[in-house]
Chain A
Amino acid sequence: MGRYFLKRVLGTIPLMLVISFIIFMFVHMIPGDPARIMAGKDATLEEINRTRQALGLDQPLMKQYLMYLDRMFHGDLGTSTTTGQTVAEMIGPRFLPTLTLAGCALVWSLIIGVLLGVLSAVMRGKWEDYIGMLIAISGISIPVFWLGLVLIQIFSVQLGWLPTGGLDNMQSYILPSFSLGIGVMAIMARFSRSSMLENMKEDYVRTARAKGQKESMVVLKHAFRNSLIEVVTVAGLQIGGLLAGSILVETVFTIPGMGRLLVDSIKFRDYPVIEAELLLFSLQFVVINLIVDLLYGVLNPKIRYES
């Protein structure tokens, strides 16, 4: 078990290096010249070149990447080319709102999604099942930004119950986290339903019934415990989608989070900010998958005892 954990944790280091390289290269391949944007519209060629030198953009790409890595290892995320603030200063206050938003979305969507899936599986072929799956299909099909706008129209503009945007109090998290989580909820519902249906057919479920165990315990203690392994795997993958979704949701609900910062910095070709943001998103994703892997080890004895 210890070795399994250590292997997983160490495995993330080369992974992050590869990710950082890909991010760096992609960002520098975005069309548009940050030196030209920074120097302003009426800058002379000389001024632009001077800006380019100041930003280190005249160096060969590989050298720029190594310099970037070197800065990273010293904890220096760089300085924004548009605001002049350090990247850490810019990201710092925006990190928590995004994390809270994603966290809220994740918690409700996992709980409701899995619950819906398990209930649908148990009620297979009955009306409860059809309603559950109707909700799930709708959840997958509705685009996040459209749902966000409709929710604002209904609950903020017409009913006036909830704020249209911003992050002034806990209530302002309700609509954004609902829009953000609905897709994950739907996928978790469908997935846990099919996983439960699979497991309910297994021989050990029949054994549990033959013991005289009551049906609710057969479902929870035997079938669900096995489904959990698969559910956790899929949940981990969904969190990536959640982070991507936060970009749209933050834009619709004007939330000052990482997603909006990313959109703004791409607009201004603010390389250091884009790189830092992408790296942070990737790091979150890698960490979540690491947690999933470790959980997987806890839930599945076969994995735990292999190493």
Chain B
Amino acid sequence: MAEVLLEVNHLRTEFKKRKGKVTAIDDVSFHIDKGEIVGLVGESGCGKSVTSLSIMRLLRDTPGEITNGTVLLGGKNLLELSDKEMHAFQGKQMAMIFQEPMTSLNPVMRVKEQIVEAIRLHLDMDQAQALKHTEKMLTQVGIPDVQQVMNSYPHQLSGGMSQRVMIAMAMSCYPELLIADEPTTALDVTIQAQILDLMRELNQKNGMSILLITHDLGVVAEMCSRVIVMYAGRIVEQADVETLFAHPRNPYTQGLLASLPRLGQHVDMLPSIPGTVPDLANMPAGCKFAPRCKYAMDICTKEEPKLVDMEKPGCKCRCWLVEQQMKEEGKA
């Protein structure tokens, strides 16, 4: 059995609004093994980014606050650490890259300054050593003219180049976990493939775990060994990638997969899930997906289902229908 690196238990993050609190994510539990790439998917606004920011404890300057749960990294609960203790983890044990590489770099600082800053915070190096290390990291992420890029300002770089710089910066202190929040969404398709290849290569070479947040199921199929599907701030299904794509259990996952275009199959219109993700301030009682679900039963609108284990180890699903089916199969 592989060693667990990150373990998230019953994480709940609430947002303070003028009219009281709204729950952005609730009962989020999952784990990531060492060296594993796990995908976190869902529509926009389903809590993927809030989950990642909560894990990194980057909710400052948002109205968000973690109100329940634990985040264990290497057995240590990050939510109990003081700010100062947490700073030693951020960037060192766990690093993060973001959706918009162009705006994620400081526009008035040279690339080298920004990477050296990260290095000198965590590694015991002087300026010259840190510069050398920066050069090495930038070479490793496949930047051709390293010297020129080091002396550039972010506005002089393309989106793909900026994301490579972000990755080099994130990798510079050899983190055990990389959280990639939609790292390729803002990039065009060929650059997307290059960045994903780079991330996989770093994963294989350094054994670094990756939590890959995306709404692109194609990316998930290509990159991840396990997938977590989120809807309206809850995990609704969790499975290894083959099982999820071959036998999705949750009606929401089934809907997501049905809406993917398939090669060689001609359709006039792709199916889509009717309706939209519910507003955080106005969550339906019971199952959050029930109003959009074609299988919705009486109980679905009254009581929220729990995330229960499926027959196959490691697979979980949050759905009354699936629970019912399992009971019937158990009886039969």
**Smallest beta-carbon distance B157→chain A, Å:** 12
Complex contact A212–B108 (CB within 8 A) = no
Closest to A301 in B: B153
Complex contact A305–B156 (CB within 8 A) = yes
> Which chain B residues (57-106) contact chain A, with CB distance < 8 Å?
58, 60-61, 83-84, 86-92, 95-96, 98, 100, 103-106
Question: Would you call B239 an interface residue if the criterion is a C-beta within 8 Å of the partner chain's C-beta atoms?
Answer: no
> Which chain A residues (174-224) contact chain B, with CB distance < 8 Å?
200-215, 221-222
Question: Would you call A299 an interface residue if the criterion is a C-beta within 8 Å of the partner chain's C-beta atoms?
Answer: yes
Complex contact B121–A209 (CB within 8 A) = no
* Known A302-B153, A305-B156: A212·B92 in contact at CB below 8 Å: yes
CA of A209 to CA of B60, assembled, Å = 9
Complex contact A222–B88 (CB within 8 A) = no
CA of A259 to CA of B122, assembled, Å = 57
Complex contact B155–A206 (CB within 8 A) = no
**Smallest beta-carbon distance A289→chain B, Å:** 21
**Smallest beta-carbon distance B305→chain A, Å:** 34
Q: Which residues of B contact A214 (CB under 8 A)?
A: 83-84, 87
Q: Which residues of A contact B118 (CB under 8 A)?
A: 211-212
Question: Which of A210, A221, A226 is the one whose CB lies under 8 Å from B58?
Answer: A210
Complex contact A210–B96 (CB within 8 A) = yes
Complex contact A212–B88 (CB within 8 A) = yes
**Smallest beta-carbon distance A143→chain B, Å:** 37
Q: Which residues of A contact B117 (CB under 8 A)?
A: 208, 211, 213, 221
Q: Which residues of B contact A209 (CB under 8 A)?
A: 58, 60, 90
Q: Which residues of B contact A222 (CB under 8 A)?
A: 106, 109
Complex contact B108–A202 (CB within 8 A) = no
Complex contact B108–A207 (CB within 8 A) = no
Complex contact B90–A208 (CB within 8 A) = no
Question: Would you call B212 an interface residue if the criterion is a C-beta within 8 Å of the partner chain's C-beta atoms?
Answer: no
**Smallest beta-carbon distance A123→chain B, Å:** 13
**Smallest beta-carbon distance B277→chain A, Å:** 23
Q: Which residues of B contact A305 (CB under 8 A)?
A: 153, 155-156
- A-B contact number at CB 8 A: 81
**Smallest beta-carbon distance A204→chain B, Å:** 4
Question: Would you call A90 an interface residue if the criterion is a C-beta within 8 Å of the partner chain's C-beta atoms?
Answer: no
Q: Which residues of B contact A94 (CB under 8 A)?
A: none
Complex contact B108–A300 (CB within 8 A) = yes
Question: Would you call B24 an interface residue if the criterion is a C-beta within 8 Å of the partner chain's C-beta atoms?
Answer: no
Question: Which of B98, B155, B169 is the one whose CB lies under 8 Å from A211?
Answer: B169
Question: Would you call A229 an interface residue if the criterion is a C-beta within 8 Å of the partner chain's C-beta atoms?
Answer: yes
Question: Would you call A225 an interface residue if the criterion is a C-beta within 8 Å of the partner chain's C-beta atoms?
Answer: yes
Q: Which residues of A contact B153 (CB under 8 A)?
A: 301-302, 305
Closest to A201 in B: B61
* Known A211-B90, A301-B153: A206·B58 in contact at CB below 8 Å: yes
**Smallest beta-carbon distance A170→chain B, Å:** 37
**Smallest beta-carbon distance A119→chain B, Å:** 16
Question: Would you call B213 an interface residue if the criterion is a C-beta within 8 Å of the partner chain's C-beta atoms?
Answer: no
Q: Which residues of B contact A226 (CB under 8 A)?
A: 106-108
**Smallest beta-carbon distance A4→chain B, Å:** 15
Q: Interface residues of B toward A: which range? A: 20 to 34
* Known A201-B61, A210-B90, A215-B83: A229·B100 in contact at CB below 8 Å: no
Q: Which residues of B contact A229 (CB under 8 A)?
A: 108
Complex contact A206–B84 (CB within 8 A) = no
Q: Which residues of A contact B88 (CB under 8 A)?
A: 212
Q: Which of B96, B106, B121, B156 has the most CB of A within 10 A?
A: B106
Complex contact B56–A203 (CB within 8 A) = no
Question: Which of B56, B90, B103 is the one whose CB lies under 8 Å from A202?
Answer: B103
CA of A204 to CA of B121, assembled, Å = 17
Q: Which residues of A contact B121 (CB under 8 A)?
A: 211-213
> Which chain A residues (88-138) contact chain B, with CB distance < 8 Å?
none
CA of A289 to CA of B117, assembled, Å = 34
Q: Which residues of A contact B84 (CB under 8 A)?
A: 214
Encode B163-182 as 1/0 by CB contact (under 8 A) with A.
00010010000000000000
**Smallest beta-carbon distance A242→chain B, Å:** 27
**Smallest beta-carbon distance A270→chain B, Å:** 49
> Which chain A residues (213-259) contact chain B, with CB distance < 8 Å?
213-215, 221-222, 225-226, 229
Closest to A207 in B: B104
**Smallest beta-carbon distance A284→chain B, Å:** 29
CA of A202 to CA of B156, assembled, Å = 19
CA of A207 to CA of B87, assembled, Å = 13
Complex contact A302–B58 (CB within 8 A) = no
**Smallest beta-carbon distance A228→chain B, Å:** 8
* Known A301-B155, A302-B153, A302-B155: A212·B98 in contact at CB below 8 Å: no
CA of A203 to CA of B154, assembled, Å = 13
Complex contact A212–B61 (CB within 8 A) = no
Complex contact B107–A204 (CB within 8 A) = yes
CA of A214 to CA of B108, assembled, Å = 19
Complex contact B106–A213 (CB within 8 A) = no
Top 7 A-B residue pairs of the complex, sorted by shortest distance between their CB atoms:
A212-B90, A212-B91, A301-B153, A211-B91, A203-B103, A204-B106, A212-B87
